[in-house]
Structure 1
Amino acid sequence: MNIREITAQDDLQMAQIIRHILENHQLDIPGTAYFDPQLDHLSEFYRDLPDSAYWVLVNENEQVVGGVGIAPLQDNIAELQKLYLSDAATGHGYGQQLLSHAINFAQQHYQQLYLETSSILKAANGLYHKNGFKLLDKPLGETGHTLMDTWFLKQLHE
């Protein structure tokens, strides 16, 4: 497996993975990433944002099996976005690899890293706790993901 920046050729595969996971958890509804206008064009969206990037995890055949993004949220705060793995890629430590890659990038540009998720996504929540993200009482900013009910923040520089 290899982590690399997303290209336009990866957009469809990554959008399909994200939609599939959200459908499996009954989160294919407005107020989630399922309806993000940029979901089908992630490479273009992240390319045009300062201090941001989206990476895909690809197998030996260059098939996309997961991805993660970093984008600005507020002054000195980045948002971890769209960390998803295909069903075949779960349970092998790839989520940790993607998260570590994103954190390393964020540390070069930001002081804190925010994310929002759903309490339904138990494995993801466990991964965030394990990596030093602290639970918040309410969301930071307006991301458009109004159905997310779990918010985390990580200090990138102690």
Structure 2
Amino acid sequence: MSKDTIVIREIQPEDNRQIEQVIRNCFYEFKIPLEGTAYSDEETPRMFESYQNNNDVYYVIDNNGTILGGGGVKPLKGFESDVCEIQKMYFSPKVRGKGYGKFMFEKCLQAAKILGYKQCYLESAPQLKVAVHIYESYGFKHLKEALGSTGHYSCGVWMLKDL
């Protein structure tokens, strides 16, 4: 796999099955609960269809037709309209540690600003220590409890950043 074969682009309908598999595999790999997380979201099997509004976007990492990760921005469900959530950001082990996660994170933050959001929220699992460290390095602050109504009661890390 060389860098010039990898493209980060908006999700397409044919990406659904592959990005769902990337997302689900991470839950088993990191021993994250399946209930009360993105694993059990009704959106997970139909990611393309879930990001077709004018106030959301989902990107995938495409390596010659193989989807190796993704991440998106959506309004924070059940909360103020100027707060978005970075969500469903998961990566195959094939691209971890190579800078793609940070690049995707920056792309999502940039999209959030372009879409007009004032704050960005995210939820994570304590098992994802590297990801949480990256969020902290970008100025996300830890919260004592969840915001909105994501339904992710098994996530133990809640963070917020002003954009």
Q: Which residue of 2 aligns with 1:4?
A: 9
Deviations 1:72-120 (A, max 9, x none): 0132000000111101110101000100000000012200000001111
What stretches of structure 1 of length at least 5 have no aligned partner? none
| In the alignment, structure 1 residue 51 sits paired with structure 2 residue 55 | yes
* CA distance in 2 between partners of 1:110 and 1:119 (Å): 26
Aligned match for 1:145, one of 143, 152, 159 = 152
The structural deviation recorded for 1:62 is 2.5
Structure 2 residue aligned with 1:68, among 71, 78, 82?
Answer: 71
Determine the structure 1 residue equivalent to 2:136: 129
Structure 2, unmatched stretches of 5+, are 1-5
Aligned equivalent of 1:105? 111
Contact 1:50 1:72 in 2 (8 A): no
**Pairwise CA RMSD:** 0.9
Using the alignment, how far apart are the partners of 2:32 and 2:21 within structure 1?
14
The count of aligned residue pairs is 154
TM-score by length of 1: 0.94
* Matching residue within 15, 21, 29 for 2:34: 29
Q: Which amino acid aligns with 1:83?
A: M
Deviation of residue 26 (structure 1)? 1.8
Q: Whole-Å Cα distance in 2 between the matches of residues 28 and 62 of structure 1?
A: 29
Q: Post-superposition shift, 1:27?
A: 1.8
3-state DSSP of counterpart to 2:51 = helix
Name segments (4+ residues, structure 1) moved above 3 Å.
Answer: none
Letter in 2 for 1:98: M
Matched residues in 2 for 1:28 and 1:146: separation?
10
Residue 122 (structure 2) aligns with: 115
What is the alpha-carbon distance in structure 1 between the residues aligned to residue 88 and residue 41 of structure 2? Answer: 11
Residue identity (%): 37
Q: Letter of the 1:13 partner, please give it.
A: Q
- Aligned residue in 1 for 2:102: 96
Q: Is the CA contact 2:71–2:89 (under 8 Å) kept in the aligned structure 1?
A: yes
Q: Give deviations 1:17-50, integer Å, cap 9, x for gaps.
A: 0000011122242101111111111000111x33
